[in-house]
């Protein structure tokens, strides 16, 4: 494998000292994933899975403050305004990559040093070793652009403690490095100043667990700890309307703020998200969750709220999306049910 770093390549793939290296190299877009990047990662992992010369994989990013801010949502929206073929191809490729990472038979080390959102979560959180640093900023902000927390969000979010995942998914709340480990999203927390030395040791090959143990730092209570009782009580309610009402009736500034944040999110997306997480919690396999999410994504990528959310947040940047329907109480159960129905061509078909 070519070990020469070529600056213009968005993904650098090589093997060094028996270590498979995947380096995201699209800093101008915060390493947002394209279909080609996902395909190239999947092809490398498929090769390395059976390659006795590769002991484990390390995923990092070349430069900049973003590990990976998500998928190339603007490109998805361009396709969604047309026939949606390219958008569905992106999700198909991305979700198959997520499944490869989840089932990878060797250690998969993701160095989440920077912005880690959406698709960036999908290529890291399903790996065996997830390293957060003081630069890590985690979020699943999809309901703010009319999407939903995909890339396996239906698997890992409802499996976090209590209703933490539901809160993160509906509000898009952000967690900083130590909190990412405290929440169980990362397996280790390392100081960014130690990261170069850690990476150097990892790339020499060796006992991963021993190396990471020496660099791992303890973390304190997360900022959300004082609200955990309210998170579990309120975000565990049966319907989105019940959650919104409970937040409004709760006598705390924190709860009022959560309600205000949710009022800016797509009511349809939040309704879909709540069902996604509730169903995902009951599913027995990761593949079942990804199949569900592909059904949703295949339809939502051409929906009014997604295209309007991208316009308002990423294109015109007026941050005033006109959601349709505009309120939680106006979302019909039929419209939500429709996006969960089987497709003619399923993800694993």
pLDDT tens-digit map of 2-55: 334 445 799 999 999 999 999 999 999 999 999 999 999 999 999 999 999 999
Backbone angles phi, psi at 283, to 5 degrees: -75, 145
> What is the predicted pLDDT for the residue at 7?
58
282-323: per-residue pLDDT in tens? Answer: 999 999 999 999 999 999 999 999 999 999 999 999 999 999
Q: Which of 71, 80, 114, 280 is catalytic?
A: 71
Q: Which of 40, 72, 94, 150 is catalytic?
A: 150
- Is the pLDDT reported for residue 334 higher than 60? yes
Say if residues 119 and 94 touch (Cβ distance below 8 Å): yes
**Which whole-number Å values give the CA distances from 150 to 44, 120, 168, in the listed order?**
23, 11, 13
Greatest C-alpha distance within the chain: 60
3-state SS of 257-318 is: HHHHHHHHCCHHHHHHHHHHHHHHHHCCCHHHHHHHHHHHHHHHCCCHHHHHHHHHHHHCCC
Assess whether 20 carries a catalytic annotation. Answer: no
Assess whether 142 carries a catalytic annotation. Answer: yes
202-245: per-residue pLDDT in tens? Answer: 999 989 999 999 999 999 999 999 999 999 999 999 999 999 99
46-69: per-residue pLDDT in tens? Answer: 999 999 999 999 999 998 889 999
Q: Which of 119, 153, 172, 309 is catalytic?
A: 119
Q: How far is CA 269 from the centre of its chain?
A: 16
* Mean pLDDT for the chain overall: 96
H-only helix segments in 172-206: 177-182, 195-202
Assess whether 150 carries a catalytic annotation. Answer: yes
Strands 175-176 and 137-139: antiparallel
Picking from 142, 157, 169, the residue whose alpha carbon sits closest to that of residue 301 is 142
- Rounded mean pLDDT, 132-150: 98
pTM: 0.96
Assess whether 36 carries a catalytic annotation. Answer: no
**Domain 1-349 is in which class?**
alpha beta
Local confidence band at 1 (pLDDT 50, 70, 90 cut-offs): very low
Say if residues 152 and 98 touch (Cβ distance below 8 Å): yes
**DSSP, residue by residue, 49-86:** HT-TT--EEEEEESSSSEEE--B-HHHHHHHHTTT-HH
Distance CA 117, CA 205 (A): 29
Apex 66 CA angle, 317 and 59, nearest 5: 140
Q: Where are the domains of the chain?
A: 1-349
Q: Which of 113, 142, 163, 293 is catalytic?
A: 142
């Amino acid at each position: 494998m070519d070990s020469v770093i070529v600056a213009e390549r968005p993904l650098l793939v090589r093997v060094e000292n028996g270590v498979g290296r995947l380096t995201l190299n699209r800093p101008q877009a915060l390493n947002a994933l394209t279909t080609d990047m996902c395909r190239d990662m999947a092809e490398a992992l498929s090769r390395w899975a059976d390659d006795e010369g590769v002991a484990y994989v390390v995923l990092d990013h070349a430069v900049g403050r973003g590990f990976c801010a998500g998928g190339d949502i603007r490109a998805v929206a361009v396709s969604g305004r047309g026939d949606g073929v390219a958008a569905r191809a992106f999700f198909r490729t991305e979700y198959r990559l997520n499944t490869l990472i989840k089932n990878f038979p060797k250690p998969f080390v993701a160095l989440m040093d920077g912005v880690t959102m959406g698709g960036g979560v999908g290529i890291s959180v399903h790996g065996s070793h997830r390293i957060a640093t003081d630069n890590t900023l985690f979020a699943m902000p999809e309901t703010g652009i009319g999407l939903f927390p995909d890339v396996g969000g239906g698997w890992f979010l409802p499996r976090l403690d209590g209703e933490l995942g539901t809160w993160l998914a509906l509000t898009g709340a952000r967690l900083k490095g130590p909190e990412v480990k405290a929440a169980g999203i990362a397996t280790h927390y390392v100081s960014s100043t130690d990261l170069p030395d850690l990476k150097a040791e990892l790339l020499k090959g060796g006992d991963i667990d021993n190396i990471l143990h020496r660099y791992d730092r303890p973390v304190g209570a997360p900022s959300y700890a004082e609200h955990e009782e309210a998170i579990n009580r309120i975000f565990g309610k049966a319907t989105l309307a019940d959650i919104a009402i409970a937040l409004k009736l709760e006598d705390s500034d924190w709860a009022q703020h959560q309600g205000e944040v949710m009022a800016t999110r797509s009511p349809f997306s939040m309704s879909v998200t709540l069902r996604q997480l509730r169903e995902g919690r009951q599913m027995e396999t990761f593949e079942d969750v990804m199949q569900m999410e592909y059904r949703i994504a295949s339809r939502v990528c051409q929906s009014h709220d997604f295209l309007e959310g991208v316009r308002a947040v990423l294109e015109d940047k007026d941050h005033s999306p006109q959601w349709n329907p505009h309120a939680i109480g106006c979302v019909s159960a039929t419209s939500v049910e429709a996006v969960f129905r089987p497709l003619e061509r399923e993800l694993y078909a």
